[in-house]
Structure 1
Amino acid sequence: MRNKKNTSTSWRNNRRSINAILGDNKKFLMPIFFVLAVVATVGIALSANHRAQEESQEPSGAELAATYEVPEVEMEENAHPEVNALIDKYYQACAEGDSETISQIYKGLEDTELLKAVAAADYIEAYENITVYTKPGPLVGSYVAYVYNEVKLYNYDKAVPGLETLYICTDDTGNLYINGDIVEGNEIEYLRQINVQTDVIDLNNKVAVKYNEMVSSDEVLAELLTQMRSGLQVSVGEALASSEASNNEAAAAEGSSAKEDASEESASDVQVVTTHTIRATDVINIRSSDSETADVIAKTSKGQEFTQVEALANGWSKIEYNNGYAFVKTEFFEVVGEETVEVAGDNGDAAETNTETANNNDNKTENKTENKTETESKPAATAKTGKMKVTESVRLRKSESTDSDILATLYAGTEVNVKQQYANGWSKVEYNGQTGYMKSEFLE
């Protein structure tokens, strides 16, 4: 297996993912693109059956659709050389983990999706037998592309079939690009309607059957995909944490003055946290995890608002719910607010710890060192504590950084005692007599 370590040198602001806008039909999108997060796929394939199961009421789009007439035309196969050339370049960049080229081609791609595309390149040797089916898009010079491909994985002989849906537009200079940042309601409704046309659903079903038969009949492939999913989660989590740490260090360096050491220490205590308020557009299931087979905890009411902790690349949103976390389908919510705050380190706890260490001579030296080098972030207001289980293999570290020392490796199902969860995505936990830190996303 090759180890491509291309990393993105700049990160875009959090923006609404096209998965969140167009992901009405996860059932008919290929599971390989969720498992591998191969190229941060644009999930705009829809299914009337899926929508009937997930939506309690059918949202009316008649008024929105009035702007763009949705044509009843058959898909064309490899009909536009310029579209095929763009897609070939895109897949080549994904196979190589070339984050710069991916960002240039795919406008509006979120940070987490870009990281997944780069990390997935460690498992993907090539994309083979690419066939591009197109329908006209809502704008002049735009296309809705349904891309069939076969993914050749390292350490596996057969190519795995997949189907990806991409919205392709033309910019002001006449160049094509993949549009992942749709905000205009009429465009969205056009794409929703064109993707429930019979030939689109038939193609999705055909590829889904082919993929499912292959996975269900090959235990080696099924296990390989499970391992890849776990590896990608860890890789992306560590990359995000490393990027966050680097940004904090840069901010500290810029703010340095005559008292450089003191200023840098203060700056490193600051965490920038952005959350969104999202509102339900319908009555939607609230589930225990980001899966349609997960337990239904409750249902939203139309217009109910939640704090969105994270918009996941697979079309789900992690939300704050009942002093913990839950998951909903992003596509059925609208963003109504955003809050970005700088969360300072908990100086009160540090002062309290210093008082305790002054009265405890045996631990005095050790605790002073810990207070100086391992500043903790502000606790998350609604995060749970106590006994919790690890969901995927993850490392327990000495401090809140992927660069810090590894204390142990925790495997799925391992029980830990969570002392505190912090707003920067890390948790302080106890395991086998050791106190360390791990990413909160791997706890349940």
Structure 2
Amino acid sequence: MKASEIKEKMSKISKDDISSFFQKNWKYFAAVILFIVLAVVMIKFSSGNKDKDNGLSTEQSTEAESFQVDAVPEINTLMQNYYNAYAAGDLATLQTYATPVSANEQALITMMSQYVESYQNIKCYTKSGLEADSYLVCVTLDLKFVGVDTAAPGMEFFYVKKNEQGALYIDNLYSSFNRHNKEQPTDSNVESLISNFQTQDDLIALNVEVQADYEKALASDENLSNMVNVTIADAYNAWATAIAQAQQQPATEEPATEETPTEPETPAEPETPAEPEVTAETVYTLDKVNIRQEPNESGALLGTVEKGTALTRTGTTEDGWSSIDYNGTPAYVKSDYVSTEAPAQEPAADTSGIAEGTKITLTNTVNIRSSMSETASKVGVAYAGDSVTVQMSYAEGWTKVTWKDKEGYVKTEFLK
């Protein structure tokens, strides 16, 4: 998008309008897809904080400074390494580049990494942070989802500074996730600086450009649109539900009123409830089935198994799921697609029968049946002069044939 087009588009949108739009979509920006930007601005806070070095307010000093694009190679390397670890779901490595990362954010990263193939075309826009050797960093990138051809343009903010060893790292207290969910406390001076930074014209113009590219990408690729609006949204809902359930605290009981007993009583030993016995059993898949991390169709897909695969079932749920052991990991399959009965073996071929591919012209009227039984339902009736093609002869005295584009079984004796 050209600068003149951005200016014209921005002239029609006030900062308050953009801020309002951002507030409405903030939840989705921060938690559903951290790097696909729907809006990046926040309400502009009045700040009276003064920069200790130059006597200017943080608002004045950042507005006076222009973006530096890819000006700090160490920051570009840091971001590339961070995003590589994010895409791989490598939490240990990621936390060497960004810290602190809460347990909830780690769960979100693990969930997202299942769908992300890579982060490409990373570009870093920087301005000075509050402390010496600190930076406000806006990253633009292309997010490539697994199985989707078109990458999704996106934008994300970071606060970067140096650690005690002098190396740059991401101060994750100011990540979009923590600033939205407020799981860990932040410095109000840094917050004020970031809030002002996110309302500045150059950042808003960059956001409008990325947003236009993002909308264009979704419109051009239905698979990308479905990935963002359906698959990722469903995965997020499952993640958010799990987090909410984990955070629910059991109701506290009212403390009992203390009474002075006339005689001391020996408290009865509490009964230890018997633990339910987990009985493992072998089940077999009735079709090709999906293995999921949670007992619902929105659960993360761990893999698929073919029909007839033996699985170890450790229990069932009331809503129709079987808990299984999948490569040493607890997982779930729909109970409708498994059975305790082993699948029937394919009947052995009769090596003395009629060769596969042999075409035979019938000399008698015969019944074509759906299976190797005289009581099986009829596929049809073939008359003398009709032609059948042999697929396989079986030791049970039946031959599987193709007849008028239909498949069925005929007594082998009628074909000789």
**What is the TM-score normalised by the length of structure 2?**
0.48
* Structure with max Cα Rg: 2
Higher relative contact order (CA 8 A, sep 6+): 1
